[in-house]
Structure 1
Amino acid sequence: MADGVLGLGSSGSSDLNSELIAKLKAADSTSILDPIKTEEEDTQTEIDAVNKIQSMVTEFLDLAKDFDLFTSGTNIFDKISASTSGSSVNFDATDTSNLEPGTISVNVTQLAQKDVYQSNTITDKTSTMDSGTISVSIGDNTYDFSTDGKTYEALVSEMNNYPELSAALEQVGDSSYRMVVKSAESGLSNALTITQTGVDIGLEDTNNHVLKAQNMNASIDGIDYDLSSNKVTMQNGLIIKAVSEGTSTITMERDDSSITTSINNLADKYNDLVDLVNSYILGDADNPAVISDSSTLKTMMSDIKNILFDSYGLDNEENMFKYGISFDSSGYMQIDDSELSKALTNNYENLKELFVGRAEKEGIGTRLKTYLDSLDSLDGGLLSTYSDKLTNRLDTLNSDYQTASDKLDEKYNQMTEQFASYTVLITQMENDFSSLKSVIDGSSSSDS
C-alpha cells in the first residue's frame, strides 16, 4: 500500500509539507514581488539621478546670477575693484553699480573729534558728592543734573540716559578715578558746555577740557569738505572714511579678471550639466539609461541651448560667437580667453549688453537665471513636476509591493493551516486503518 493518503503525505510529513509551502511561496514571490522590487529600485535610482541634476542646475543658477540685470546685489559687469595708496583714508561701497573707473585724490587736513571733559581725580567713586548742580549743554538742549545725595556712579548712570552724552568713571591710577563726559558724536555741532553750581569737581577747569570738538576738513578731488563726521558718502555710493591726516589716492578699476572667471565658470558648469544629463539619458545594451523618460531633460537642455545660441541687443546684433565663445561637435561650450580679453578691452559695453542686457532686452544671464529658477518652481516647474511624478510612482510601487506581499502571506498562511488540518485527518484515518488491520489480522489467525 502506498504511504500517505491522496498524495498529501503521512502523519509524520509536516516538515516536508512546510518545505513544499516555502518553495511554492518563494516561487510566487519571485514572479510577483521581485518585478515590483526591481521597479522600485529603478525608480529610486531615477529619483537620485534627478536630485543630482537639480543640484547641478542650482549651481548653474548661482553662476548665472552674476549676470542678472535684476540682481539684488551688483552684477559682475558693474563690479569695481578699488585700491588705495596712502594711509589717510579707508573706503567702502555697498553698491558699486554707479562707480566709474578712475582715481580720487583725498587730502585730509583735520580729523573730526568729540568734545571730551574730565573731572579732577576721585579717590572713592562710591562717596556722596557735595550738593549742587552740573549743567551740560549740547546744541539747543541743556541738561541739569542735581548732585544732592548722589554718588559719582549714580551721576554717571543718570547722564547716560541721554543719547547725546557719554559718561564713564575711568580708573586712571591704582586708587584714583576720573569722571569723563563726552559728546556721543564728533563735530562742532556736538560741542559741550559744562557749568557747575554749588559743586566743583573740576569739569570747568581749562586743563580738564582734554579734547575739543572739531569737524573733519578734507579736500576730495579739489572739493573742500567741512563735516562733523569722518565719513563722506559720495553721490556715486563710494564711502570714504578719514583715519589720519595726510593725502591718499583711491584707484577704481573694472574687474575684468572676475568677468573672465565668471564666464569660464558658467561654461564649465554648463559642460558639467551636459555630461551629467547625457550619463543618465544615453544608454546601451550593457548600461541602460537611468532616466526612463528622457523627454523632460532633453527639453530642459534644448531650452538652455536656445538661450545661449540666441541673439541679443536691441537690434539682435549680439551673440556669443562674436566674442570667442563657441560650441564643439559634442555640444560643449568653449571659451577663447584671448578673444574674450580683447572683447572686454574693446567692446565692453557690447559684451555687457550680451550677458546682462537691459530692461528692454534682457541678456543671456538674465534670461538664463529666470529660466533655471523656473525649473524647480512649485507651480509647474519642469524638474519639480518630473520629480513629483517619480515620487508618486515610488509611493504607488511601495503600496503595491506591500499589498502583494500581504496577499501572499495570507495565501500561504491558509495553505499551511489546510495542510495542518489534512495531517490531522490523515492521522485519524491511519489510526482507523491500523485498528481495522489488527482486527483482520486477528481474525485470520483464529481461522488458522
Structure 2
Amino acid sequence: MSDTAPRECDLLIEAGWVVPVAPGDAVLVDHAVAISNGAIVGLLPTAEARQRFHARETVARPGSVLIPGLVNAHTHNPMTLLRGIADDLPLMVWLQEHIWPIEGEVIGPEFVADGVTLAVAEMLRGGTTCANENYFFPDVQAATYQKLGFRARVGLPVIDFPTAWAKTDAEYFDRAIDVHDQWRDNPLVTMAFVPHAPYTVSDASFERIRMLSDQLDIPVHLHTHETAHEVEESLQKYAQRPLARLDRLGLVNDRLIAVHMTSLTDAEIALCAERGVSVVHCPESNLKLASGFCPVGKLEQAGINIAIGTDGAASNNDLDMFGEMRTAAQLAKAVAGDATAFSAVSALRAATLGGARAMGLDDSIGSIEVGKRADLACVDLQQIETQPLHDVVSQLVYATGRHQVTDVWIDGKARMQQRELVGMDCQALIANARQWRTRIAAIQA
C-alpha cells in the first residue's frame, strides 16, 4: 500500500463539532473521529479524514456535537428499582427507616441484575458510557454490565453488619477478593473497594482495605463528609473528624474517591489537594436530602480533581448527567458567591475526564484523544431548546437535555443509534420495572 493510500478503519464519525475535553476547552468545527478495534485512531477535519481513512461504516451528524461519553462517578444502579420510594425525607430517616428495610426484603441477584439493566438503558439514553458502581452482589453487577457492553468500575462492598451479600467481616473480604480475581483482566469491568461510610466501617476493616487497595492497585470509593451530622458523630465516637480518621488509617491518598464531601474545612481541602484525592460531587442528591453543599469552587481552586455523580435513582431521582452538570455549575456559583466559579468547561470536564481520572481510567477514557477507547456520545444541537448556538460547551451544560443524545458508542460499538437502544427491548424493561413495583408495594403494605 502506498503512503497516500487511505487507511482502513472500522468507523468514521463526522460531526459538526467535536469537543475533545482534553486539551483545554477546544471546540473543533467540522471534525471527524476514526475508530479501529474499539480505539480512536484519528481526530481531524472531516474533509481530511475522508481522504486519509477508508471506513467500513460512516456516521454523519453535521448538526451534532461529539463528546466523550459521560462518566457517572457515583451510582447505586440496582436502586433504580426503588425510584420514588420515601421521598422528601432527611438522609438517615430515608436510609434507616425506609430504604434499608425494603432492601432487606428484595435484595438478591435478580433485583441487582434487573436494576442494573434498567439503569444502563437510562444512562445510555442520556449519553453516559461508564459508571462507578456502589452496591451489593458485585459478581452479578459485573456479569450484567459485561453482558450489556457497558463500562463500569464495580464496588466490592464492606459494611459492619450482615447483609444478603455477606454475614461477617471475613466473608465480606473473602468474597471481595474472589470477585476481584474473577474480573481482574476484563477490558470493560474493573473493581474498587466500596466501604459504605466512616460511620458503618470499623478501623480494622479500613486498615485491611488500605492494605488490599495497595496490593491490588484498585481505588477506594467511599461516602464521606456527606452531612454535618456525620462529622459530629465521628467527633463524638473517635474524637476525630472523618477525614482525619481516614488519614490516620492511611486512606487519604490518590486512590481515594471521596463522595459528597459537603462539610469541609480549608485544612481538609488542602490535605486532599496534597494527597491527590478525587472528590465526586452529587449535587442533586445532596440538595434533595438536604445533606449540605460541596464547596466545589474551593476544591477547583485548590487543584483537586472533581468528578460528578448522580448517586442512586432512589435519592435523585434520575441518572441524568446533563441535569447534574447544570446543577453542579449553578450551585457552585451560589455556594461560592462567585458567578465565575465552576464554569461550563469545568462542569463538562468533571462529567467526563474528571470521572475517568477519579476511577483510575483516564488513560483509556474521558476525552477524545488518539489511542483512547472510543466511548463517545453524539448530541443533536439543532433542536429548539439549543438555538441559537453561540457557544457549544455553554449550550451543552446550561441548555441541553438528555433527550438530545442520539448516538452512543462504548469501545467503538454502537449502543444507541438515532435514539434506538441496540440489543435492549425497552418495552420489556418497562414491563419488568412494573412487576418490581407490584412486588415492592406488597412489601410496604
Asked if TM exceeds 0.5, the reply is: no
TM-score tier (shorter): under 0.3
State the TM-score, normalizing by the size of structure 1. Answer: 0.17
State the TM-score, normalizing by the size of structure 2. Answer: 0.17
Higher Cα radius of gyration: 1
Q: Could you say which structure has the greater relative contact order, defined with CA pairs below 8 angstroms and 6 or more residues apart?
A: 1
